[in-house]
Structure 1
Amino acid sequence: MSNILETPIQIGAYTLRNKVVMAPLTRMRSTGNFAQPELAVEYYGQRAGAGLIIAEATQISQQGQGYPNTPGIYTDEQIEAYKKITDKVHEEGGTIFLQLWHVGRLSFKDYQPNNSLPVAPSALAAPGHAYLPDFSRADYETPRELTVAEIKEIVEDYRQAAINAKEAGFDGVEIHAANAYLLEQFLKTVSNQRTDEYGGAVENRARLLFEVLDTILTVWDNSKIALRISPFNVSGIAPEPDPYSIYDYVVKRLADYKLAYLHVIENKEIDPGNGATVTFDTDKLYIKHISDFYTSPVIVAGGFDKDKAETVIEKGYASAVAFGKNYISTPDLAYRLVNDLEPNAFDRATFYGGGAKGYTDYPFYKV
């Protein structure tokens, strides 16, 4: 009998070879021009056995960058570098989406055009510390509030990035609306105190997200577009008083779009009601909560192991499961999960920056 993780699954326009997804993993190894290095071709090619690769978060513009050496998709050089990656993944029989990224206030003036302040829905500094270009850390700066005209320019940047992703040979795009980055900053009341059409009621705070989605729909078919959310994220942002009111509204609207998939990050060890630590319980996950009103494919992430992944798929809460750190260390992770083989141990010291060490030198299982 087949393992549930190894059976194919239809995700939008594509039949994935298995239900094991490579999560988008920031590795900070791009060139000085923020183009993917040659090593990235080997790195992604090694992992093409995943049912789907979601390529690492990629900034749609210089303004959208917030970390050292992260790749962009806004210059010809960056597009050409990504073409080599998509060609390699397709040569290996894989499917690959690009995650489109604008970090908003989780940036620093050193990354911004003319060393200006980072931008955000409101002039509120994020909690925590920024990565500077030399990998040192500093408190996040108080950002500059975007004007309505500038918001429209960012929507256009997303549209152009979607065009560039298509030129680079990607099979689809994932809109990054999670992890305290720009689109999540607009969604949440703790980071958005605007009083215009982009602030106040949840319909207004979600306006930018749906404007971005609608403009990308002019470039890609809905069956090749995805979106990522993190309803209970508290990293880089203060806890939201009532996340359900925001995300239920967003997900119910998204249901009409029939996207390739909705990518949900679960903070599964935290009870969003009171912040108390709880034992993993699949029936407390947000993907279970939305299963009655969101029927398009769902990919879930959040530190899942094989048993938990199989459980949420068997219960019908998720179509596939994304794995992160284990895909850094284990290029043949899908094979190992299906065959009950342990992943390689990962080395956190090599997650960000550097060269081949901790990037392309992890071993495959020897049969």
Structure 2
Amino acid sequence: MNNLLHPFSKGNFNLKNHIVMAPMTRSRAIDNLPNDLMATYYAQRSGAGLIVTEGTSPSVNGLGYCRIPGIFSEEQIEGWKKTTDAVHKNDSKIFVQLMHTGRVAHEANLPEGGKVVGVSDIKAAGEMYTDALGMQEHTQPVALSTEEVYQVMNEYVSGAKNAVEAGFDGVELHAANGYLLEQFLNPNVNNRTDEFGGSVENRAKFLIKTAQKIADEIGKEKVGIRFSPFSTFNDMPTYSEEEVIKTYSYLAAELNTIGITYLHLSYSPQIPESLMNALRANFEGTIILCNGLTAETAETALEEGFADLVAFGRYYIANPDFDQRLEKGTSLNDLDFNTFYTPGAEGFTDYPFLNSEK
């Protein structure tokens, strides 16, 4: 664990170790409000150098799942302050992940006045859970007008400003896993004929302009982004390898020009080495590697030089003191898959620590 547990420093990005807690939906935000239980959950896991929160919506329309938090109201800002204060007490950094679900949504999960919107009116295949109606097909989205695209952009900017007010060290734009930012990138979902559709450059415009506006507002050092190229999660149709490589190589270069602090890659075996090389060549900031890593493969990734930091997801669900378990080489708790998304403390804040007195 020579690299994992040592302090990290690159540019003006400094962490107490090389471990990132990856963003994971946990569905404990009753009425979409961050709460005391969530503050306890994140505080328990603040052994990580950096925590990236669960996906958090910048607007009413982005709350596609049940019980996910928002960051667009004063009450939500105040709720998040409990989490940021708790995490900072352990000398950890915390970024909020801004996630607008777009077409991956059901209207029953939205508060009054919300509507399901997308880059187009193409409905996402599949179903999702709702508290009110059980499992339901995704709702047919309403395609955003050009004017509405700019309104959503401003919602992201407002969310980022609110994040700083709530005490977050920065924001991560969720441009992965089939949510709104990635919906713009995919030519099989984005059928727009305005300035945000057509070419790779046009499809990337929403993301780039949003990142630039946020960087201008809160500082480029407080902005990160998450990508999952070649992922088909949430009905992301595949498109040509050549165009995927062109898209993400272009984005890395443009985001490097803006000067954002990190690029967070959700890795899959489908990503060719040529794209990995292009991302590293085009982006000079911090790169976080995530998805399926073990302590051993994470250490190797750091040694090989592509990744500056490594992120762990499910290990942190069941092991609040994951960093200490790595350091001591001790066993890990088993996951309770039945409580990943249920309300309440069970399977959330009740996993045992090595020190049972905690």
Q: Name the TM-score, length of structure 1 as normaliser.
A: 0.91
**Superposition deviation, residue 19 in structure 1:** 0.7
**Superposition deviation, residue 245 in structure 1:** 2.0
**Superposition deviation, residue 20 in structure 1:** 0.9
Q: Which moved more, 1:39-48 or 1:103-112?
A: 103-112
Which of 289, 314, 320 is the aligned partner of 1:300?
A: 289
C-alpha change, 1:257 and 1:200, in structure 2 (3 Å) is same
Which of 194, 207, 210 is the aligned partner of 1:209?
A: 207
CA contact (8 A) 1:66 1:131 kept: no
SS at match of 2:163: helix
Q: How does 1:256-267 map to 2 (within 5 A)?
A: 256-267=257-268
SS at match of 2:184: helix
**Superposition deviation, residue 153 in structure 1:** 0.6
Q: How does 1:1-367 map to 2 (within 5 A)?
A: 3-11=2-10, 13-32=12-31, 34-112=32-110, 117-134=115-132, 136-236=134-234, 237-242=236-241, 243-268=244-269, 271=270, 284=273, 286-366=275-355
1:26 is aligned with what amino acid?
T
Q: Deviations over 1:308-343 (max 9, x none)?
A: 111111011001111001101001111222332232
> What is the distance in 2 between the residues matched to 1:82 and 1:326?
23
Q: Which moved more, 1:8-17 or 1:313-322?
A: 8-17
CA contact (8 A) 1:9 1:19 kept: yes
SS at match of 2:136: strand
1:139 is aligned with what amino acid?
E
CA contact (8 A) 2:61 2:115 kept: no
**Superposition deviation, residue 244 in structure 1:** 1.2
> What is the distance in 2 between the residues matched to 1:138 and 1:12?
46
Q: Which moved more, 1:9-18 or 1:58-67?
A: 9-18
CA contact (8 A) 1:127 1:238 kept: no
**Superposition deviation, residue 266 in structure 1:** 0.8
1:340 is aligned with what amino acid?
G
**Superposition deviation, residue 258 in structure 1:** 2.5
Q: Deviations over 1:74-119 (max 9, x none)?
A: 1111111100110111112111111111011001222346577511
SS at match of 2:181: helix
CA contact (8 A) 1:11 1:260 kept: no
Specify the alignment match of 1:280 in structure 2.
none
> What is the distance in 2 between the residues matched to 1:355 and 1:285?
44
C-alpha change, 1:12 and 1:84, in structure 2 (3 Å) is farther
SS at match of 1:137: strand
CA contact (8 A) 1:59 1:102 kept: yes
Percent identical among aligned pairs is: 39
SS at match of 2:26: coil
C-alpha change, 1:197 and 1:21, in structure 2 (3 Å) is same
SS at match of 1:219: helix
> What is the distance in 1 between the residues matched to 2:168 and 2:239?
34
> What is the distance in 2 between the residues matched to 1:6 and 1:286?
28
C-alpha change, 1:133 and 1:151, in structure 2 (3 Å) is farther
C-alpha change, 1:248 and 1:285, in structure 2 (3 Å) is closer
**What are structure 1's unaligned runs of at least 5 residues?**
274-283
C-alpha change, 1:285 and 1:88, in structure 2 (3 Å) is farther
CA contact (8 A) 1:12 1:259 kept: no
> What is the distance in 2 between the residues matched to 1:222 and 1:53?
18
SS at match of 1:217: helix
Q: Name the TM-score, length of structure 2 as normaliser.
A: 0.94
C-alpha change, 1:105 and 1:49, in structure 2 (3 Å) is same
C-alpha change, 1:135 and 1:356, in structure 2 (3 Å) is farther
**Superposition deviation, residue 195 in structure 1:** 1.2
> What is the distance in 2 between the residues matched to 1:330 and 1:285?
35
CA contact (8 A) 1:299 1:319 kept: yes
Moved over 6 A (4+): none
> What is the distance in 2 between the residues matched to 1:335 and 1:285?
36
> What is the distance in 1 between the residues matched to 2:35 and 2:160?
21
Figure out how many residues of one structure are paired with residues of the other and give that number. 353
CA contact (8 A) 2:157 2:217 kept: yes
1:5 is aligned with what amino acid?
L
**Superposition deviation, residue 126 in structure 1:** 1.3
> What is the distance in 1 between the residues matched to 2:55 and 2:263?
16
> What is the distance in 2 between the residues matched to 1:285 and 1:298?
16
2:302 is aligned with what amino acid?
I
1:250 is aligned with what amino acid?
L
**Superposition deviation, residue 366 in structure 1:** 3.3
> What is the distance in 2 between the residues matched to 1:254 and 1:215?
12
2:287 is aligned with what amino acid?
V
